[in-house]
Amino acid sequence: MLLSDHILFLDGEALVVDKPEGLPVDPPRDGSLSLENHLDSLRFGFKRWPLAVHRLDRDTSGCLLLARNPKAHGRFTRAFEGREVEKQYLAIIDGVPDGDGGTIDLPLAKTSTAETGWRMVVDPNGKPSVSHWEKLAVVDGRALLRFRPETGRTHQLRVHALEGLGLPIAGDPVYGNGRGKDRTLLHAERLVVKRDVKPSIIAEAPFPARFAALGFSPPEGAAPTRG
């Protein structure tokens, strides 16, 4: 697998890749492959390796923004922190939520125990966390949802699905019923970053084949499944 074949956007200061599920952004402790092992192939003539601006969980596929120089990295990072980036995700939920859509506003905080390790939990004293959602389709007792998070907290959509909708994202081993080789069915489908002078960065990742294998079709306006 070559990430250089998964480019969704590329110009002089930014690139967006369609990150495959199973590929961690940060090097894991077990020494397995991560984004870092692909950075040399993503230089495209530049001397520096590009720098990841944000993070996607190992299981999450889709749009991942990298900056091609430190100044751009700073600008893009501030855009994420200032809630100036438009993000859309697709998720398959274990169950069918009531209603066709809504907003989940639940602050999140990190907790850790010796028995279970760390996880994110709803905490009134936690950081503000807001996600908008809409139901797109239902197949075999599962729903395909589109999330538009305003904030970018760690595991935000995974916790909001469980605590806000009462239903976990399918395959989630921490907040849901995922076991063994299951992967969390979450996909970063669209990313838009506005820039002052240059045109906006707009990237759309193809509908995941793993979603299609469960009987779901690309929603209207979505990029088709990668062939």
What's 132's domain CATH number? 3.30.2350.10
User: pTM for the whole thing?
Assistant: 0.94
Q: Tell me whether residue 221 is in a domain.
A: no
Q: State the Cα torsion 203-207-208-213 to the nearest 10°.
A: 180
List Cα–Cα distances, 173 to 35, 73, 142, 147, in angstroms.
Answer: 22, 32, 17, 20
Above 60 in pLDDT, residue 179? yes
DSSP 166-224: S-PBTT-TTTS---TT----EEEEEEEE--SSSPPEEEEPPPPHHHHTTT--PPTTSPP
Q: Tell me whether residue 67 is in a domain.
A: yes
Counts of helices then strands in the chain (DSSP H, E): 3, 12
Task: Go through the chain and tell me how many residues it has.
Answer: 227
Q: Strand pairing partners for 112?
A: 118
Q: Tell me whether residue 220 is in a domain.
A: no
Indicate if 57 belongs to the active site.
yes
Q: Tell me whether residue 200 is in a domain.
A: yes
Q: Tell me whether residue 225 is in a domain.
A: no
Which residues span the domain enclosing 38? 3-212
Per-residue pLDDT at 5: 85
Above 90 in pLDDT, residue 226? no
Q: Which of 5, 30, 57, 105 is catalytic?
A: 57
Q: State the Cα torsion 205-206-208-214 to the nearest 10°.
A: 130
* Identity of the highest mean pLDDT range in 29-33, 108-112, 155-159: 155-159
Q: Tell me whether residue 219 is in a domain.
A: no
pLDDT tens readout for residues 181-221: 899 999 999 999 999 889 999 999 999 999 999 999 998 87
Averaged over 3-15, what is the pLDDT? Answer: 92
pLDDT tens readout for residues 18-71: 999 999 999 888 878 999 999 999 999 999 999 999 999 999 999 999 999 999
Under 8 Å between Cβ of 145 and 138? no
Averaged over 155-181, what is the pLDDT? Answer: 94
Please provide the average confidence, as pLDDT, over all residues in the chain: 93
- Of the candidates 161, 203, 154, the one whose C-alpha atom is nearest the C-alpha of residue 185 is 161
Under 8 Å between Cβ of 64 and 25? yes
Q: Tell me whether residue 227 is in a domain.
A: no
Structurally, the chain folds into a number of domains equal to 1
Per-residue pLDDT at 64: 98
